[in-house]
């Protein structure tokens, strides 16, 4: 059974970082897909205040996940797949330029889209199109208010991608 872990380090929820890290450790060890933001990675991995994506992927080199996705909001995202026991070089995926209304739910839409794509492809390694699809889902979500009402349908994502081809 694939395990997808979307790290959400919320300081108001945890007594301290040590407790949060201890709670996350067994899930990190079981995750098939690991998704985290640059901010979450900084807290979880005790990285410098302004870590680079390479710092995060280096710190996560020992996790057994098949794929890692690192998001950084409007600045874009990166992904890496475990191939022959080693993670590939992180691939940067630029974000889509949109007029954002509210960011609530964008990360959830992003992860749901990644999972949908992985299910459709029998959990094969992530590809650039998968992460672009997820980025489109996240971008569309920010153009509408509300956490649930803002989530786009597959057809809306497909239209958005068609309108935003390079």
Question: Residue 25 to residues 2, 5, 103, 118: CA-CA distances in angstroms?
Answer: 17, 11, 28, 24
Is 166 marked active-site?
no
Catalytic residue among 6, 40, 108, 130: 108
**Torsion (CA) 113, 74, 37, 145 in degrees, nearest 10:** -60
The answer to whether residues 114 and 134 touch, using CB atoms and an 8 Å cutoff, is yes
Residues that are catalytic: 108
């Amino acid at each position: 059974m694939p395990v997808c872990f979307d790290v959400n380090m919320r300081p108001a929820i945890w007594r301290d970082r040590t407790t949060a890290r201890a709670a996350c450790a067994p899930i990190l060890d079981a995750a098939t897909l690991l998704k985290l933001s640059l901010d979450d990675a900084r807290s979880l991995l005790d990285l410098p205040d302004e870590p680079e994506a390479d710092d995060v992927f280096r710190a996560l080199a020992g996790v057994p996940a098949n794929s890692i996705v690192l998001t950084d909001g409007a600045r874009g995202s990166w992904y890496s797949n475990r191939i022959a026991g080693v993670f590939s070089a992180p691939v940067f995926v630029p974000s889509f330029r949109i007029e954002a209304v509210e960011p609530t739910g964008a990360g959830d839409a992003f992860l749901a889209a990644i999972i949908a794509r992985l299910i459709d492809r029998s959990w094969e390694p992530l590809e650039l199109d998968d992460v672009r699809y997820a980025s489109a889902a996240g971008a569309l979500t920010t153009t509408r208010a509300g956490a649930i009402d803002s989530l786009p349908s597959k057809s809306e994502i497909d239209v958005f991608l068609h309108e935003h081809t390079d």
